[in-house]
Structure formats: structure tokens, C-alpha cells
Amino acid sequence: MSVKVNSAFASVLLAFGLLLPCQLGLPTTTNQGDRIIVFVPTRQAQLDWLELIHSQAGKPGEVGENVRFWFGPGLLNQETIVFVPGGDYGRLVAAIPSSQDTYSWWTVQKENLGKLVTGETRRSSDISSAYRTYQEILNFLDQTQSTCGSFCSVEKYGTSYEGRDLKLIKIGDDLPSKRIVWIDAGIHAREWIAPATALYFIDKIVQGYKSSDSTIKSMLDNFAFYIAPLLNPDGYVYSYTFTRERLWRKTRSAQAGGCYGVDLNRNFGYHWGGQGSSSDPCDENFRGSSAFSEPETRAVRDKLLAIRLRTISFITMHSYGQDWMVPYGYAYNVSVDNYAQMMRPVQAAADKLKSLGRNYDIGNSAVVTYPAAGASDDYAASIGVPYAHTIELPDTGQYRFLLPQSEIPRVGLETLEALKVYLGYIAAANQPRDE
Ligand code: 0X9
Ligand code: ZN
């Protein structure tokens, strides 16, 4: 939900239109005719209409029933971007108030969204050559474990609402004296580059250990890694099934009013219910009925509490926006006490990324993005983890959530290089905390 918007998006959609549907891997889409509409309201009446459509989410029979707001509605003269399923397109367009100006206040991205997701054809056995299914992710964790002996272990830390295993892999000596680096991904279903990057990390860290790569070895001398590549498997499976919704964000738990899903990154119990979260079960940012109402957040909480004193760094990977952020983000003008200390390795990571050709914004999460209460980064900081971050992986608005899978190796490599630099900075603090 980054608000950084890039006008090259339309040309990218067209470029994808030239690609053939997939032969392997991803199933053929049935959502032909889905559209993205970009509105730029210049009059209050237009903004009011957008607010009205926004409020109709999930309400049967209403024009806005199935319209998903990716950005906005915000302010006058700001872009509001919506996703409209093919079956709802005609009725929405018929309802748009006509402009009193000579120019139109809305434009349609003409290309089929389906082609954006089905243009992906190549897959090889390399884990980073494709966006992986839930089952492929579990298989990869098990295969990795079977090749690295006692140096890795896969742990089931919970069960999702729909009954799927929540799993993480521990890499390195899991001794009480070893500080833990927690890395998770996939809390938001549609942000596929995040789980793909987590799998890249697992692959390269284990390979580096086996081949005695000196940087990886020294990382593993200092830290044990707990990597949970898919916090929201139900949402991911739903997003991965193109008869459903590629751009789904939440979980799939049944809610009041016939709507589905909780935004797990609004469900954690620190300032739960505050800014940037919604009490409306049909909203994309629905926070759940209470703090930790969802099995997925409870499972992360319980695991984190169990390893709290050993954990030196908590990193949660999202997309998109290219941001490396520091708590607190539940409101403006609130910060962790050790903000300056936390920013030092983040600055070093951003410098590394810049040297690799990627610009990241860094700083307080509310400032860099927007206030969002009930997020996991704030929770980790609130229980005393000394370094806690949300990373918004690429891009900055060209492909948004639909980053082509051919980008996985580059994103994986540059983020791992940045992580190495980041961890080099905090290695010195490698002592368990006393309570
Ligand atoms: O809104 C979010 O949950 C994150 N952005 S995303 O587009 N991936 O959904 C940002 C969360 C940043 N953290 C806090 N504000 N606490
Ligand atoms: Zn996210």
C-alpha cells in the first residue's frame, strides 16, 4: 500500500499484453476483463463519490461491492487507484459522475490484469526461478532440512484458520547463547516477492554454510536464523488461485456481514485498534474482532515471546515501496527509545542497496509510509526486541504487487547483501539479554 505512484505502469501493462499465457506452473486465469482505474478527483463531489464507493465494499448489490481500493481515497488532486473485477466494470463505469471539466478525471488501464499474472512461464528447480505454491514452499523447507542435518530444523509453530501448517526453519546452532535473527514474510497474501525473498535467503544461507562462504560463516557464528517464509498461507493460496483474487491481502477467516479475512498486520496487540486500521470486516485493513483474534498472529506472538530474550533483530518483509523502516508506526510522533541506534545498521543497509542500484527510503514507519496500528514490527519492539523493521521490497510502483518472477534473483541477492551489512553492524551486541 505504498503511496508512491509511477506513471510507467500503463506501459508495463501493455508490455505484458504481448506475453503468451503460461504453459507450466501458474494456472490460466478466469478473471478476464479485470481492470485498474486511476481517478484523480479535482472536485469535492468526485471525492465524495469515491468515499461512497469505498464504503460499499462487500455490501451485496452495491456498485462498490467488489471494488478494491489500492490507494485512497485520499485528498483532492491525489491519485486513487482501484481494482475492478470484469463482472463489475460496466456498472461501476456507468455510475462514475461525469466531469464538468474538459478532461476526464479517471483513466482505465486497458490491458487485462490476468495477463500480468499468467505471463510467467519459466520454472526450473532453482527455488528462485519462480513464485512458489504453498506446497512447494513446504517441500522446499523439508528438502533443505534433509540436506543440512542438525544445522537446520523445520518447526511447525502453529496452524492457520483453514488448517494449514505454519512453519519456520531454524538455521545455525540453536544454542541458548546464540542471538536470534527473526525474518518473516507473506503476512500479506499478494506480496509474493516477500516469501520468494525469504526462500532465497534460506537457500543461500544454507549453501553458504555448506561451501564455507566466509561472510555467511561469520553471520552464523554470531546468529541463529529463524525464518518463517509464509505467515498467511490461506491468503497466499487464495491469491495464487487465479479463479479467485491475485490481489487479495488478508487472511480468509469468515467475518460478519459475509466478508472474509483479517489484515494480520493490524491484529497484533500493541496499540491495537488505532490509526490506519479498520473495524469494518469488509475493509482491506480490517484489524479483527480483538487483538490476536487470529491463529496466525497468536502463533507468531507465542513463538516470539518464547524466544524474546534471545532475539536481537525482527525483520518482516513486505512489498512494495523500497523502504526499510523503524518503529513505532502506530501513530505519528512516536518512536522507540533507541531509534538512533536502530537507524545505524539500517543506514548501512540502505547505502549498500544504493551501491547496487536500488534506492530505499529509511526512517520511522509512520513517516516513511503511514500510521498503521497493530502491526508486527511495533509488537516486536514493544516486547523489547532491540532491532525491529518492516522492509518493503521492490518495486516503487511500476509493477506494484505484480513484480515479474524474473526479478526474484536480483531482489534476493541485493536484499541479502544489505542484510549482511546490517548484521555486521549489530553483531557487536551479540549477548543474551538479562530480564
Ligand atoms: O500497511 C502495512 O501493513 C505495511 N505496508 S503494506 O503495503 N505492505 O501493507 C506497512 C507497515 C509498517 N509498519 C507500521 N506502520 N507499524
Ligand atoms: Zn504488506
Question: What is residue 109's predicted lDDT score, i.e. its pLDDT?
Answer: 66
The lowest-confidence range among 64-78, 278-292, 402-416 is 64-78
Task: Assign 409 a pLDDT band (cuts: 50, 70, 90).
Answer: very high
Euclidean distance between CA atoms 421 and 427, whole angstroms: 10
Of the ranges 65-69, 139-143, 233-237, which one carries the lowest mean pLDDT score? Answer: 65-69
- The pTM assigned to this predicted structure is 0.78
Q: Which atom of ligand 1 is nearest to the CA of 1?
A: 7
Whether ligand 1 lies within 6 angstroms of the CB of 277 is answered as: no
The preferred substitution site among 319, 392, 396, 401 for testing ligand 1, maximizing ligand atoms within 8 Å of CB, is 392
Lowest mean pLDDT among 29-43, 168-182, 351-365: 29-43
C-alpha cell at 108: 482505465
Alpha-carbon distances of 299 from 232, 305, 315, rounded to whole Å: 11, 10, 16
Give 244's pLDDT tier (boundaries 50, 70, 90). low
Q: Where in the chain is the domain with CATH 3.40.630.10?
A: 134-430
pLDDT band at 263 (very low <50, low <70, confident <90, very high): very high
CATH 3.30.70 segments of the chain: 35-115
- Centre of ligand 2 to C-alpha 173, Å, is 30
For the domain made up of 35-115, the CATH class stated in words is alpha beta
Distance CA 62, CA 51 (A): 13
Ligand 1 touching residue 38 (CB < 6 A): no
- Catalytic residue IDs: 392
Helix, strand, coil: what percent of the chain each, to 5?
A: 40, 15, 45
Q: What is the length of the chain?
A: 435
Confidence of residue 327 (pLDDT cuts 50, 70, 90): very high
pLDDT tens readout for residues 185-214: 999 999 999 999 999 999 999 999 999 999
Distance 372 CA to ligand 1 centre (A): 6
Structure confidence at residue 4 (pLDDT): 41
Give the residue from 330, 415, 395 showing the smallest Cα distance to 365. 330
Give the mutation target among 239, 250, 283, 390 for probing the ligand 1 site: most ligand atoms within 8 A of CB: 390
Contact 265, 373 (CB under 8 A): no
Q: What's the mean pLDDT in 259-273?
A: 98
Name the nearest CA neighbour of 77 among 106, 54, 43.
43
- Start-to-end C-alpha separation, the chain: 37
Residue 301 has pLDDT above 90, yes or no: yes
Give 38's pLDDT tier (boundaries 50, 70, 90): confident
Whose C-alpha lies nearest to ligand 1, atom 7?
1
Residue nearest to atom 12 of ligand 1 (CA): 365
134-430 has CATH 3.40.50.720 classification: no
- pLDDT over threshold 80, residue 386: yes
**What is the pLDDT averaged over residues 338-346?**
97
More confident residue, 69 or 274: 274
Q: Which chain residues have CB less than 5 Å from ligand 2, an ion?
A: 188, 191, 318
Cβ neighbours of residue 418 closer than 8 Å, sequence gap 6 or more: 324, 349, 350, 352, 353, 356
CB of 222 within 6 A of ligand 1: the answer is no
390 Cβ below 6 A of ligand 1: yes
pLDDT digits (tens, 9 = 90+) for 60-118: 999 999 888 877 787 888 778 788 888 899 999 999 998 777 778 998 865 445 444 44
For residue 187, report the distance from its CA to the centre of ligand 2, in Å. Answer: 7
What pLDDT is recorded for position 125? 82
Q: Is 378 in the pocket of ligand 1 (CB under 6 A)?
A: yes
pLDDT over 70, % of the chain? 86
Q: Is the CB of 148 under 6 A from ligand 1?
A: no
**Residue 376 banded pLDDT, cuts 50, 70, 90:** very high
Give the confidence band of 243 by pLDDT, cuts at 50, 70, 90.
low
pLDDT, mean over the chain: 87
